[in-house]
A = this chain, B = another copy of it.
């Protein structure tokens, strides 16, 4: 994993280097030929092409954190919609940079707390929430039947479930059979499909 700092201007960010000693500074024009899947990119918004560059790098499988000197809600949304996983002030303290790296490196999204509600609120109103409250199939099961069904839905065999719940394999079969009947499925395969893909049945 390589860490790259992309900026049009030659403005070095000391705090970035103190958080990531191995970071390399690269020009926007050449970065697309230097990056590979999984690279961590710190991208300054000091040139006009940064949204397109973000999208292109995201398509390559890079993790992009957009850095700005003037944070704004609009720019944050633009960054995230372009495929960036993080957005923060360029002069953030090193601990914050490390935190953002940790979060974005683990498939998370990092946005400053004061912008988070605005960004999510905007996303919410933009997409509009259509209320589709899916019925919970497991509600009609008893506690024990549900425990067995959930364990089975994770791929466990009857014997494994028996050990897990400290009951006989025969009892597992009993609960499981009851669950099958109540849920209207014929076997464990249908069960796991019903549980993991219910949204497709609703919508």
Q: Chain A residues in contact with chain B, CB under 8 A?
A: 9-15, 37-38, 46, 55, 58-61, 63, 69-75, 77-78, 80-83, 85, 89, 91, 99-100, 102-104, 106-111, 113, 116, 118-134, 136, 138-139, 143, 146-147, 150-151, 153-155, 164, 188-190, 192-193, 195-199, 202-203
- Cα A133 to Cα B103 in complex, Å, equals 22
Inter-chain contacts of A193 with B (CB < 8 A): 154-155, 192, 196
Name A154's closest neighbour in chain B (CB-CB). B91
Q: How far is the CB of A150 from chain B (nearest CB, A)?
A: 6
Q: How far is the CB of A162 from chain B (nearest CB, A)?
A: 14
Report whether over half of chain A's contact residues are helix, strand or loop; otherwise say mixed.
helix
Copies in the complex: 2
Tell me which of B37, B107, B124, B147 contacts A81 (CB under 8 A): B124
The 5 closest A-B pairs by CB, nearest first: A103-B108, A108-B108, A109-B109, A70-B134, A70-B198
Inter-chain contacts of A196 with B (CB < 8 A): 89, 91, 192-193, 196-197
Q: Is the CB of B127 within 8 A of A195?
A: no
